[in-house]
Structure 1
Amino acid sequence: MTGIVNTAQAAAWNGYEGEHWASNADRYDAVNGGFNGFLLDLVSAEDRVLDIGSGNGLLTRLAAARARTALGVDLSGPMLATARKRAAEVPNVTYEQGDVQVHPFPDGGFDLAVSRFGVMFFADPVAAFANVRRALRPGGRLAFLCMTALAGTDLGRVFGAMAPFLPQPTGPDGSGPTSFADPERTRAVLTEAGFEDVVSTRVEADQVWGRDVPDAARFIADWGPVRHHLGQVDEATAAKAVAALTEALQPFEHPDAVRLRGAAWLVTGRRS
């Protein structure tokens, strides 16, 4: 892997977090895959696509089916191993391990950069997006999905149930999974990085979290940030948090799955 500056995230995604996502690739795609179409609709046949934070690689492979080529870049060795295995029969897909903030992309080597929830954890987001801008040809396009604020969403209701017992995923400074929840901050970051015509559009999709409530509760409790916070409290408090999580999921159980309505920002921009 090339040089890394985002060392904390590299440690997480090459440790438990990345291993959990890799071993549960289909489950995470069931959570986030409903959003794929918002990005894939922007891919054209002649595009050279860059997938930022490509993870287990599903979006990269789907983009490649519509594009000239697709490259996925991610910090996570475990997830890239899964991505490469699943792309063995896809000739126009490649994957590279690297830190997008400093990765040596070819200047102007891509027409479109996309990301499905892979941009929220940059150590220096301006530097990362400036590097992505450099990788795009003049007039090249950027499109990514990021989380909205949790308040008022199904996921916010579920995490809110654990709030009396555990810290919330987003820090007081706005860092964490919802670091781009404020469209004005997003526009400021991308503008500073050299993008124009930045627009954030709210989109929604169903997210499948498990086959039933116990299954979904176990899966969420094993998700890296929740698992970390459960490990920071005593056993009784952790049990109360999991019980609250389980109860909060009950209204979302359907005959075939536990399904929440997810919300995201579809952010688009253009290199001048």
Structure 2
Amino acid sequence: MLLDPLRNLAPAQGVKVLPRHLAGPGPVDLRTTWPFSFDDDWTLHRSEEGTAYAISPCLRLWTRFIPEPERWGKGTWTIGASRVPFEPAAWQVAFEATTPIELLHDVHVSMFDLYREDRRSNQDRLFGDAAEPHEGYGPVFAHGWNHVARPEGIQDFRSPDGLAGIRHRYDTRYGDGPGWRIWGGSPAQPNWEARFSLAAPTTLVAAFTASLISTEPVHRMVKDIPRHTRHHLHVATAAAQQQSVAQPPPSPRPGRTR
């Protein structure tokens, strides 16, 4: 029987661990997740209940966090883009709040980069991304992930430990559902899950999977790491015992209408 590598550490002790898909979510911190320039042009709206929205100046791109502490997944991070402001989203990406914060940060950085590139070049990559699907799943092969192609128009990729997976729907003739589903934890009951709609830019998927397989350890407190998969963790370093407290999100400016 494999032992918990954290069994002799205090709950508040900080550690750096791998793989990222088993590290737990980390602190919910808008400043960590969202790289936007709120002091310049993006708008932030927050409610007393903790719901937060970030909206681009063009009003076509938004991202939000809705906390649901009593629900499995603890809430949802969602990115959406509309071709015309206030119309239904052309695509969405949704993450359970239990998704590792580093993965959320990297996909939002990629989204922000696409947004700024579109403003400079008028390429509109947010709605016509040229990235090919293999850019989303290709890097996992170098990390020993298994691959199975299925006749119903989907292909599955599974991490060597069996505790992370990617499902890519490449042929929509055989059914509907997200274009990409990515998860970490036990297959029967994952710790977290991410879903990219069919029209979501593949560049965002590639940013997420690159962060997922990164070999850079992430910092967590012992008490925040899921217990049922700890025996698969690798502990890079154990810091001195300390109580880590997430910094509060930035104070929002009053919402404004453009």
- Could you tell me the TM-score, scaled by structure 2's length? 0.28
More strand by share: 2
